[in-house]
Chains A and B, each alone.
Chain A
Amino acid sequence: MPTNQEQERLLAELKTAILEYAEDQADAVTEQIIEAGIDPLRVMNQTIADAARELGDKFESGEIFLPHLVMAGDVMARVSGRLESALEPGSEGQTGARTVIIGTVQSDIHSIGKDIVAMLLKANGFKIVDLGVDVPSVDFVRRAKEESAHLIALSSLLTTTMPFQREVIEILGEMGERNNYKVLIGGGPVTGGYADEIGSDGYGKDAVEAVEIAKRLSGIDHSASSGGSS
């Protein structure tokens, strides 16, 4: 087992590789971390989580852009996958990885806001199943069941497509599945009041808040509030 100082150096190198979108470097350091016997859960829950938080801050401040989130998300997904494969048998369930079904609701083709939330969630260690735009309500529910998802994230940018967010929640209820998934909503015309009205579990007024709420709903970060939803 390397010294604490050596462990910290490796973890810092991994974080730097993620923040610089350096896939090869991240792969190499990840192998060194596994060989050194550092607990993969510690790497995922501390190092990768720290990197994700820093990426979110940089995006919010305008220092980096959506493509950088895509690149960082790809690197983190690779690293997380490799670390998961190195976990002791039986500890897979402790990784904290949660599957999110995300999409823009039916008859709405706006994608940028949803894409940003998806990338930030991915950067924060969530497994993302992005259904795209103009997604029929029943498809959210069907894919959530297929993927054993934890959370369904619904984007709507139009006043007349907001009812589809409610429709997804209604379908979950009618199918007896409402308690199996957390539902998070967002989008330009959506408010915390509307989230309460339709029985959503959370509402993000912007991408960064959406991620914080998703983490709270997933039991990853207990410090976040429920956003605009009271």
Chain B
Amino acid sequence: MTPSVQPSFHEILLRSKQGPLLEEKEFDMSLFRKTQELQKKHRIRYDPEQPLDLDGAMADRLYQAGIELYLSQGTYCSTTHRVITVSEQELAAAIADCPESVELGQGEDKVRMVHRDVEGQQEPVVVAGIQTAPFSDEQMMAVIYEGCARDACVDGIWGGILLTIDGRYEVVAGAPSEIYQYRKTVEILRQAVTAAGRPGMITINNAPTCSATIAMFDEEKGLRRSDYMESTGMSEMKVAYDDLNRSAFALAHGVPIHGTHSSVIGGFSGNPEGAAITAVAASLGLVCVHKAVCFRCGTVDARIKSRVTRKQLWVAGTAIQALNRNTRLIVDGTIGDHPAAGPGTKQYLYESAAGHIVSTVMGAHSTEGTRKFVVGNTCNYGTPLESRWMGEVCKASAGMDRRTADRIVRYLLDKYEDHLSEAPEGETYEGLYDLKNNTPLPRYRKLYEEVREELKDQGLPLD
């Protein structure tokens, strides 16, 4: 008997042209029906009193539910309106073929992103920086990113955007200005990490369009083969050719592919149980269809502008645990990347800590940067100190057991979960940092140290 092989990328493209033709609404409603059936069949149950799944038995059942959902639902190609499906054997081969580790960065700044176990000691890779956020000008962008890159607990930096070119020409997605702007900002990012003494550090950015993303790749001044290419799955369990074009470029040029997908609580997955099943299934889709070697397994809530509600912690945490207990895949969690509160507030630090503790303890890396949940296009809305916090919390959480994490997360939820809808806005870099020497103002440093001490008292080993 010939051993099964995973479908090649070209085979995936063929299936996107020849798979079953389906109205998008039918696919969406089918997702809802199946997630509701599977949560009953596999006894997946969200208990608000238990924000972290502690024993793993339900996570194992969730993995089976995710497998069944992916095999029956597939990935919807919104470009061709066809469903890309794989067989059970092909899915198993795709999971088995995926590497257990990938090298990122160069020289002394190189890191190895490995499969992490639940409660694993393996060091999580942290890609911080104020992800895809707008900056007022090139100089401010350079200063802030240099500050982010100086912290040893940060392994990589996400780039941001400029709203205009030379202060005159508006940057618009899909227009030549987008290509020019992204290219310019990634050059600034490379210069910033070099100025910080870490020239080989991972640098990442992802434009709305594939053409602008490809334009950022340049070994000398832009993104390198040692960075990674984002290939985003559309919520929920969908893909467009613009995303597969990114995969095609990355495969042709030997760039590791990092997939991302968010299930939606309140969306077509329905309840948290359904969103958890979809989170697992969609992750498998990123491996099979996008050819991702590492991926973000996440969730959003259709109603709340934060990623660390109690439901989200359970959905993403259990889905990450399900994948890490049952495969050797490289999972990125990044639950704490978009707090409701703004920089310079205790709530930001509480939210960020809760998400990154769950993510790390369940066996994930954190590579999606720091940024308050986006509302408006306020410039310079973040500082290097949030990157340090992300790095410190993730590295300190490695090896922590789930019961300890559960206790700390409950403490943090008590601090912020009643304040998510009216979260404090915080301040921009200018209000929180000394512009002359790129260091936090005393009051921000004091606030940071207070929360740090608070979490040390709770058992987070931050020293």
Give chain A's interface residues, CB within 8 Å of chain B.
Answer: 59-60, 62, 65-67, 70, 106-109, 111-113, 115-116, 133, 158-164, 188-191, 193-194, 206
Contact = CB atoms under 8 A, between A and B. Distances in A.
B461 interface: no
A58 to B, nearest CB: 11
A70 B268 CA distance: 10
A191 B374 CA distance: 11
Contacts of B377: 159, 162, 189, 194
Contacts of B172: 107, 160-161, 163-164
Interface in B262-320: 264, 266-271, 300, 302-303, 305
Contacts, number: 91
B173 A109 contact: no
Contact of B29 (A67, A107, A194): A67
Interface string B375-406: 11100000000000000000000000000000
Contact of B376 (A60, A113, A116, A189): A189
A112 B264 contact: yes
Contacts of B173: 106-108, 158, 160-161, 164
B88 interface: no
B178 interface: yes
B375 A109 contact: no
Contacts of A206: 303
Contacts of A66: 28, 264, 266-268, 302
B460 interface: no
A9 to B, nearest CB: 32
B20 interface: no
Contacts of A111: 234-235
Contact of B170 (A70, A163, A193): A163
Closest 8 CB pairs of A and B: A107-B174, A107-B173, A67-B32, A160-B173, A191-B376, A65-B270, A161-B173, A159-B377
A111 B76 CA distance: 14
A189 B267 contact: no
A65 B271 CA distance: 7
A160 B161 CA distance: 9
A116 B302 CA distance: 8
B39 to A, nearest CB: 13
Contacts of B209: 107
B28 A189 contact: no
A163 B32 CA distance: 34
Size bracket, chain B contacts: 35 or more
Contacts of A133: 78
A188 B371 CA distance: 13
Contacts of B373: 188
B374 A189 contact: yes
B7 interface: no
A160 B178 contact: yes
A70 B29 contact: yes
B100 interface: no
A59 to B, nearest CB: 7
Contact of A67 (B28, B174, B234): B28
B242 interface: yes
Determine which residue in B161, B163, B173, B234 has the highest number of CB atoms from chain A within 10 A of its CB, and name it.
B173
Nearest to A188: B374
B208 A193 contact: no
B375 A189 contact: yes
Given A62-B303, A160-B172, A162-B377, A109 B234 contact: yes
Specify the main secondary structure of chain B where it touches its partner: loop
Contact of B208 (A67, A107, A190): A107
Contact of A194 (B32, B170, B376): B376
21 contacts: A62-B303, A65-B267, A65-B270, A66-B264, A66-B267, A106-B173, A107-B208, A107-B209, A111-B235, A112-B300, A112-B302, A113-B302, A159-B161, A160-B172, A160-B178, A161-B172, A162-B377, A163-B170, A189-B376, A191-B376, A194-B377
Contacts of B376: 189-191, 193-194
A12 to B, nearest CB: 27
B293 to A, nearest CB: 23
Interface string B187-224: 00000000000000000000011000000000000000
B192 to A, nearest CB: 20
Interface string B228-265: 00000011100010100000000000000000000010
Contacts of A106: 173-174
B423 interface: no
Contacts of A108: 173, 208
B134 interface: yes
A160 B266 contact: no
A138 to B, nearest CB: 14
A106 to B, nearest CB: 6
Nearest to B232: A109
Contacts of A193: 376
B242 A109 contact: yes
A164 B377 CA distance: 15
B433 to A, nearest CB: 22
A132 to B, nearest CB: 8
A107 B172 CA distance: 9
B25 interface: yes
A189 B267 CA distance: 20
B376 to A, nearest CB: 4
Given A112-B267, A188-B374, A70 B234 contact: no
B171 interface: yes
Contacts of A62: 266, 303
B267 A60 contact: no
B163 A159 contact: yes
Nearest to A59: B266
Nearest to B171: A160
B220 to A, nearest CB: 25
Contacts of A189: 374-377
Contacts of B300: 112
Determine which residue in B267, B270, B271 has the highest number of CB atoms from chain A within 10 A of its CB, and name it.
B267
Nearest to B172: A163
A70 B25 contact: yes
Nearest to B181: A160
A188 B300 CA distance: 13
